A and B are shown apart, each in its own frame.
Chain A
Amino acid sequence: MTQENNQNQKQNKKIYWFLLLTIILILSIFLSALTGSAGLSIWDSFRMFISEIPFFGKWVTIAETQTVYHKIVWEIRMPRIMMAGLTGYGLSIVGVAFQGIFKNPLADPHILGTSSGAALGATLAIMAGSLFPMTGLGVIGASAFLTSILTVLLVYRIACTGNRLSSVNMILTGTAVSMMLSAFISLMMSLNHDQIEKVYLWTLGSFSAAGWEKVVFLFILILPSSLGILFFAKELDVISTGDETAESLGIDTVRVRKLIILLASLMVAACVSVSGIIGFVGLVVPHVMRMISGPKNKILLPLSGAGGAVFVIVCDTLARNLIAPSELPVGVITALIGAPYFVILLQRNKRKLGNG
């Protein structure tokens, strides 16, 4: 009996963590929306928010500049925050899934070449844009999305020799293809000097070109895919203890791997095509969350999603405020904050890091 109580207590503790993270997430969205370089005071932004809430809105009188404020908060800041949150959520969940199916603690969302593929597409679009002026930002995103999906398919085709799906093969092929594509991008950059800065900034990742249509695009691709991955939480648990064991427990490991790679690639392609390559999130957040939640994917996946969203929102808020009115690339902040924090955690919990 005591053991059951223990088990229940542990479960409860994890639910508290989840609630806490959700509160932090809402707070960070709110605070992030209130801060910015537009010369809008925090108090004004706050009143702006309240005025949007039905019923409460009656109690707040807003100055005449209302429409400008409204535009800043709802059409510039909020979509940007949502994009950051969804990207962090998606990349972290993919990180957990990849670390699980590849049984490799170093697996991150970019490991199958998705991101290099996207970078190639973006580079091609940027270069083409310099020739044909009518190509805009949407074209870069669409091109990145397409090449990123094509890259995963290519990696999958190469790695899938025989009907077995070897993790090591996938990771090595992904890395090799990534390197080849990166070299190709470098080649194109050195042949088109005037576009170097644009390509370089794209690869660093940024949410500055946010808009609600991009948020909707991310939402449509990321949310269903992440629920799809969550659907396989139990299978992921068992697969992490060995393929043959999982199969003897009735799990079709090849099918589960294929589906998870498919869903995860859609998510990564979506994230990367709208916001560039944002590193470190998908690698670190799952490990940090695993220290809190333990290895059970049913808990780890949603917790990592929430943690990733908070992390990227906070990083992006810093990115656009630290040297306001200009801004830093968010990828720089995620690595600058994430890496030292990760190292500290590693030191404290040497034993806790595993691939389970």
Chain B
Amino acid sequence: MGDDNRTIATNQLYWKPEKQAPYILENVESTFEKGYIYGIIGPNGSGKTSLIRNLLHLVEPSRGSVELDGENIQNVKRKYLARKMAMVPQHTGMDSTFCAYDIVMMGRAPYQKRFADAGVIDKKIVKEAMQITDCYQFREKEVSLLSGGEIQRVATARAIAQDTDWLILDEPTASLDVRHQVALMESLVGLKENQNKSVIIILHDINIASEYCDRIVMMKDGTVYSQGSTKEVLTCENLEETYGIAFHLIVEPGTGKRYFMPAGKRGGTL
């Protein structure tokens, strides 16, 4: 338990969905260290989702490898991975008649015996997870009746209930209102600080990333364009290079918080 060098790393990772297709990921070299919140940013189609699908072993790499704590995840059992990494998918696709509580309880599946009912500990963890993402109040509602943002919170609660070292989230803020976006990010910070969890999160909102992420992996055209501390990576130069539009940096006097304003074509880079 005690070692602090737990990492997820990609080694010269190449990936394409099928043999004839062009590579979606090319030579991705990235390292995710324990104890940080990593934001993955980059334009549409830059390979962000493909990267985390590779990290989670939802697909097989075409070349190269993904390593969890130094071990190639292709050699690791799926059930073991499920106790190490939890995912919140981009499209939850939940058109199910299960109630929210049952969905979150599925997060306990990697720990439960076949046919066994939920134990006291399972119930406690599920309740806490649902309270963290503010969805315990509609626990008995069928998920197909929930709104997109509510479903997103249920899916996030399920990942938290999975009780893993790593939480990997694919654009969880996309369908959330501002209040719940902030609440989610703050709860992730809380999970990092209180429960020693590490987070990898795809974000489109650069300012949310700038505010809450410790490290940034910036992607462009299927490969890592830049990675490092948030301050180093998030610069107008890098953003202009990856997104192809101009940005203004606004530094809040006093706090030193950095905000990026997209300036559109007026910057003249397109």
Contact = CB atoms under 8 A, between A and B. Distances in A.
Interface in A222-254: 231, 233-234, 237-238, 240-242, 244-245, 247-252
A241 B139 CA distance: 16
B106 A238 contact: yes
A248 B82 contact: yes
A7 to B, nearest CB: 8
Interface in A244-282: 244-245, 247-252
Interface in A1-24: 3-4, 6
A354 B89 contact: no
A251 B109 contact: yes
A77 interface: no
A126 B82 CA distance: 53
A113 interface: no
B89 A245 contact: yes
Contacts of B139: 3
B5 to A, nearest CB: 24
B82 A241 contact: no
Interface stretch (A45-53, A88-96, A178-186, A289-297): A289-297
A298 B56 contact: no
A355 interface: yes
A260 to B, nearest CB: 15
A247 B92 CA distance: 14
Contacts of B110: 249-250
Nearest to A290: B97
A237 B82 CA distance: 17
Interface string B1-23: 00000000000000000100000
A215 B266 CA distance: 80
A20 B112 CA distance: 30
A352 interface: yes
A329 to B, nearest CB: 34
Contact of B96 (A234, A241, A244): A241
B53 A244 contact: yes
Contacts of B53: 244
Contact of B89 (A237, A240, A244, A356): A244
B94 interface: yes
A162 interface: yes
A206 to B, nearest CB: 35
B257 interface: no
Contacts of A351: 142, 144-145
A298 B85 CA distance: 27
A231 B115 CA distance: 8
B98 A237 contact: yes
B65 to A, nearest CB: 18
Contact of B93 (A6, A242, A251): A242
Contact of A241 (B83, B87, B103, B162): B103
Contact of A250 (B78, B96, B101): B78
Contact of B109 (A250, A295, A298, A354): A250
Contacts of A238: 106, 109
B83 A242 contact: no
Contacts of B57: 247
A351 B102 CA distance: 18
B86 to A, nearest CB: 7
Contacts of A162: 18
A251 B78 contact: yes
Contacts of A244: 53, 58, 87, 89
Nearest to B170: A244
A244 B110 CA distance: 15
A242 B151 CA distance: 14
B107 interface: yes
B95 A354 contact: yes
A247 B114 contact: no
User: Max chain B CB contacts within 10 Å: which of A233, A234, A351?
Assistant: A234
A248 B168 CA distance: 10
Nearest to A233: B115
Contacts of B58: 244, 247-248
Contacts of B102: 237, 295-296
5 contacts: A241-B93, A247-B56, A250-B81, A251-B78, A251-B109
B92 A242 contact: yes
Given A250-B81, A251-B109, A298-B115, 13 more contacts: A3-B101, A237-B98, A241-B103, A244-B58, A244-B87, A245-B87, A248-B85, A249-B162, A250-B82, A251-B78, A295-B96, A351-B142, A355-B96
A224 to B, nearest CB: 17
Nearest to B110: A250
Contacts of A298: 115
Contacts of A234: 109, 112, 114-115
A294 to B, nearest CB: 7
A238 B110 CA distance: 11
Contacts of A290: 97
Given A248-B85, A250-B83, A356 B98 contact: yes
